Amino acid sequence: MRLSAPIFRLKRRARLLARDEKIALHEALDRIAREEGYAGWSLLAAAAAADGPSKAMLSRLVEGDLLLLGARPGHGKTLLGLQLLLDAVREGRRAVFFTLEYSEREARERLRAADPGAGRLGDRLEIVTSDDISADYVIGYLAGSPRGTVAVIDYLQILDQQRSKPPLSDQVRALRTFARDTGCVLGFISQIDRAFDPERKPLPDIGDIRLPNFVDPGLFTKVCFLHDGAARLRDVA
């Protein structure tokens, strides 16, 4: 069944409904789901996940890939990263979410929003929130992981925010080497420059990545850009 709007817009509508009518968010989500023809939000979310880009994305990622997930705020890049990790868990892979942006409680909330029907599946997803997250930290944490392990780093632009950490380009290069040598798949959530104009092109591209500190885009093997419910995954030439 085709939704009337991208799922992130339906969630936004539910939050507004909950606020305006002073009802619980889960009640608002279920009401929106019924309007879309589903008995409840969990069924709508499960159907959307089945049709969403994360499953196709995981099938196209190979051992050693470095993936960049880029979008403007509110267009689903974190959601897609979490869905990708849940798909990895479903396949029996180790899956790790490294975040410099969220507390573990906030990350778990985002995880439930990503897939309310996941239940205990999400408990198998490791969430790391240390302020020490950097290339060296990620490499140490993932040392000895099985090939095909999937990790997502949230987010690229603050990996070198602390001056004590190496330059961003050096960190990405080290992680590229680690991924290639170990067969891990590493994803980076990335900001997109606010100059991106959807009136000129429907999706951002590699030239729209916000990089206050230089990183060679050629270090990534695949990129996925999102905007307004659309997504495109492609290889980096």
Question: Is 2 a domain residue?
Answer: no
One-letter amino acid of 45: A
- The answer to whether residues 45 and 82 belong to one domain is no
**Which of these, 72, 98, 73, lies nearest to 85 by C-alpha position?**
98
* pTM score: 0.80
Any bridge partners for residue 130, and if so which? none
The pLDDT score that the predictor gives to residue 1 is 61
Those residues of the chain that have pLDDT short of 50 are none
Question: Distance between CA 224 and CA 45 in Å, rounded?
Answer: 21
The count of residues in the chain is 237
What's the total number of domains in the chain?
Answer: 2
Q: Say what the pLDDT of residue 228 is.
A: 74
Closest CA to 153 of 162, 136, 8, 167: 136
Examine the domain organization and report whether 154 and 85 are in the same domain.
yes
How far is Cα 156 from Cα 144, in angstroms, rounded to an integer?
Answer: 23
CATH label of the domain that carries residue 60:
3.40.50.300
**Residues of the domain holding 145:** 53-235
- Domain assignment of residue 1, yes or no: no
**80 shares its domain with 146:** yes
Tens-digit pLDDT profile for residues 47-64: 665 566 776 799 999 999
pLDDT tens digit sequence for 67-113: 999 999 888 899 899 989 999 999 999 999 999 999 999 998 888 87
Instruction: Give domain status of residue 23, yes or no.
Output: yes
Same-domain pairing of 47 and 142: no
pLDDT of the residue at 48:
65
